[in-house]
Amino acid sequence: MSWKLASHQQHHAVAPHIYRLHFGLEALRPRRSWDVVELRQSVDSDFSWSGTVLSHPSWGSLVELVEQPAGRQAQLSDYHGQLLARPGDQLPAGPASLEVRLRIKRDPQACYFGLGQRMGPMRRDPGSYCNWTVDPPSSGHHRGIASMYQAQPYLMLHRPGLALGLFLNSTWFSRFDLGLEHEDEITICTLGGEAELFVLAASTPAQLNRLLAQLTGFPMQVPFWSLGFHQSRWGYREQSEIAELVAQFRRRQIPLDVVHLDIDYMHEFRSFSFDPQRFPDPAGLAEQVGQQGVRLVTIIDPGIRFDLHSPYEIARQGCAAGHFLRNADGSPFTAYCWPDAALFTDYSKAEARQWWGDQQRFLVERGISGVWIDMNEPATFATPFSQGFSSQLPVPLGLASGEGTDATVHAEVHNLYGHQMAEATHQGLKRLQPEETPWVLTRSAFVGTQKWAVSWMGDNHSWWEHLALALPQLVSMGLSGAPLVGVDIGGFFGNTHAELFERWMEQAVFYPFMRNHSALGTRAQEPWAFGPEVEERVRQHIQRRYQLLPYLQQLAEDSHQTGAPILRALFWEFPDDPESALHEDQAMFGEAILIAPVTRPGHTHRQVYFPPGSWYDFWSNQVVEGPTFKVWPAPLGKMPIFLRGGRAIPMDSPRLSTAHGVERRIWWVFPAEGPGSARRSDQTLHWQDEQFRLEPSLPCQVVMRCKDTTLTREYP
C-alpha cells in the first residue's frame, strides 16, 4: 500500500545556494534539539521550484522528480533484504513504520560521490547504500557491507561547472539507490513519514564543501599536538608498560605525541575508572610522559556497568536522574557490553548530555588530554563478554528516548547516538578546561559530527585490500563534510608484516589523523617491530610527518574556516579536468602535494596521473608537465610524492614532539614557470603574487626548486 505526499509539501531557500524541499505524510513535526541543520529561515534566491523541477539560472535543472513522492509501509532491511533489527523486533507504530520514497532523474553526464564511510569505490554510481550505524562483523569489512559505523546521507554530484549536494536530513534509517533499481534514476528512501531534502548548488567542489559546512557546521578546531603521531594498542595492560613504550620511542629517536589507552586501563571495563593495581597513578603517568612531550588519550565506552551497590557511583547517579535509555515500561534498558550488563546514556536528552559531559572531570583531573569514544553505534553483545566474544545484538527500536518535544523512540535517533555522545563529550571538556582546545575521537558519527570530533574508520584488517580502500574512504569522508579522519595504520585485526606495515606508514604520513593501532592477540606493530631496516625507514616517514606539520596546521585551520577537506580527491582541486574524477588511488594533500601510494605487494613502480600543471618529484629534480600519465619508480621508502608548481610549502626542522621547539622554518617554493623572486619584509615572505606569514623570531630558509637548479636563501 502506498500514499501520495503532495498535500504536505514545503519548499524555500535557506541560503542563496541552498534550497529545502519537504514532503510528508502529515504536517511537519516540530524541530528537535538534535537537528543538525543550522539554516532554517527562508531567504531570497534565484532558485525556481515548479512542483517537480528545481532549477537555477546558473546551472539549469538541478533536481527533477520522476513522479510525486510516495509513502508506503516500511521495514528495516538493507538492499539484500536482511533485517537490521534484533530477532522478533518490529518498527514501532506511527512514523517509524512509514517510508517515504523520492525518485529523481539521474544525470548521465555526472559522477556521484559522497555518502561518507563506505567500503568500495569512491565513485558511488551505480550502487545501493544504507544509512544505519552498526558495528560490522569482526570477520572483516568488505565491499558487500551495506552499513558501517557512520551514517552520512549526503550525496554529491560532480561534472565540470557544477557541484551539487543532496542532503537528506533524516536521522531514521535511509537508503540511496543510484541506478540499480532504475538505471536512469536516483531513489532515496527514508523511514519517519517525511523526507526533508536540502539541495546545495555550486560551481566547484570547494564552494560545495563550504555550503555543506554552513548548513551542518564547520569542522572543529584541533589542538596542534593532535596532528602528531599517535601510538595505540589493545593490550598495553600496565602503567609501567606505557612508560617504557614512551621511553623506547625517545631512545630510538622516533617522534611521538600521543599514546592511547584502550580498555585495558579500566577496572573491570568500567568507564571512568582506572585499575588500582595495574594503573595505580594515572596522574603521575601523565606527568611522567608529559615531561617527554607525550600526552595520554583514554578510551571511553557508552555502556556503564549495571552496578548499583558498589562504590562505583556513576550508575546510581544516572539511574536516579533518569539519564539512561528506558524500556517501554520506564525501567532502565540493559544490554551486554565489555562490563557485561550495562546501562546506556540517553544522549537525546539535554540533561543527560550535560551530565555525561561533567563525567569527563574524572579524566581531566588525572591529566588526560583527549577522549576516545568507542562502541557508540551503539554496539551491544548477545552474551556477556566475560563468557567470551559473541555476536552483536541490536538495540531495540522502540526504546524510549528524549523527553518533552524531543520525546521519540530509539529508531529515530539510533543514527545520532555516536554524534550526540561526541557532542556531550566535547562540550564537557570545553566547560572543564575553557582555555584548552577539546579533542575527541569517535567511531560512530552522522553529518554534523565534524563540529565535535575527529573520527577513524573502525576495526580494519591487516590486509592489502584494506590499505587500498583507505585512501578512497578517507577522501570520501572529506567530500561528505568530515575532513578530520584516519584509519588504523597497519590494520587493527590480523597480523601485519614488514612490507604492508611500511607501505601503510608511507601513506599515513598524509592522513589528517595518524595513529598506529592493533588488536589484542595480534603481533606487535610498533615502528621497531620489523627489524632495524624497516625501523629506519619508518622513522623517516614519521619525521616527514613532523616536517610537514606547519603545512598540515594550515590545512586544518583552513578546514575549520571553510569546510575544505585536508585529504582531497584530484577532481576537488581540478574540477574542470574530467580525467581527475577517475583516479581514486591518488589524492591531493591540501592544494600543493600529490600522493600516489603503493597498495600491492612487491610492486616497485606504479602508474601516476599528473593533472594540469607542473609537478616536482619530491625525491629528485625531475619535473613533469601535466596532464599526462607516467610509470614512476616506487621502491620501499620512496612512495611517489609530487609538489605542485606555483605553490610554496612551509616545513619544520625535525623534532620528537610538537611540545618541542623548532630551530627554523623552511619554505619550499616551486615556481610554475621558471625561478621567481623571493623577499622578506617584516614577518612576511613575498614570492610572486603570494604572501606567506612567518613566525616571529624564527629563522627562515627559502629553498626554491627549479627544473635545473635549487636556490637557497637564509632570513635573516
* 446 touches 150 (CB < 8 A): yes
Q: Nearest to residue 263, comparing CAs of 539, 435, 517, 470?
A: 517
Beta strand 295-300 with 514-516 is unpaired
Beta strand 408-409 with 111-114 is unpaired
Q: In the structure grid, which three cell numbers stand for residue 496, read together? A: 601485519
* 686 touches 648 (CB < 8 A): no
Catalytic residue among 377, 423, 488, 502: 377
- Which phi and psi (to 5°) does residue 172 adopt? -70, 170
Task: Tell me the C-alpha distance between 273 and 320, whole Å.
Answer: 20
Catalytic residue among 374, 526, 535, 584: 374
Sort residue 217 into left (φ over 0), alpha (ψ -120 to 50) or beta.
Answer: left
Q: In the structure grid, which three cell numbers stand for residue 208, read together? A: 560545495
Q: Nearest to residue 622, comparing CAs of 649, 643, 636, 594?
A: 643
- Which phi and psi (to 5°) does residue 514 adopt? -115, 105
Task: Tell me the C-alpha distance between 86 and 169, whole Å.
Answer: 25
| Dihedral angle sign, alpha carbons of residues 247, 251, 252, 257 | positive
**377 catalytic, yes or no?**
yes
**585 catalytic, yes or no?**
no
Task: Tell me the C-alpha distance between 296 and 270, whole Å.
Answer: 18
* 319 touches 334 (CB < 8 A): no
User: Which residue is listed with cell 544490554?
Assistant: 335
**374 catalytic, yes or no?**
yes
Q: Is 153 helix (H, G, I), strand (E, B) or coil?
A: coil
- Which phi and psi (to 5°) does residue 344 adopt? -130, 125
The continuous run of DSSP H or E covering 28 comes out as none
Task: Tell me the C-alpha distance between 324 and 303, whole Å.
Answer: 10
The continuous run of DSSP H or E covering 537 comes out as helix 532-547
Query: In one letter, which amino acid is 676?
Result: G
Task: Tell me the C-alpha distance between 108 and 128, whole Å.
Answer: 17
* 98 touches 91 (CB < 8 A): no
Catalytic residue among 275, 459, 488, 535: 459
Task: Tell me the C-alpha distance between 376 and 334, whole Å.
Answer: 15
Task: Tell me the C-alpha distance between 386 and 384, whole Å.
Answer: 5
Query: Residue 252, class by beta-carbon neighbours within 10 Å (0-12 exposed, 13-18 middle, 19+ buried)?
Result: middle
Q: In the structure grid, which three cell numbers stand for residue 100, read together? A: 517515504
* 260 touches 223 (CB < 8 A): no
Residues labelled catalytic: 374, 377, 459
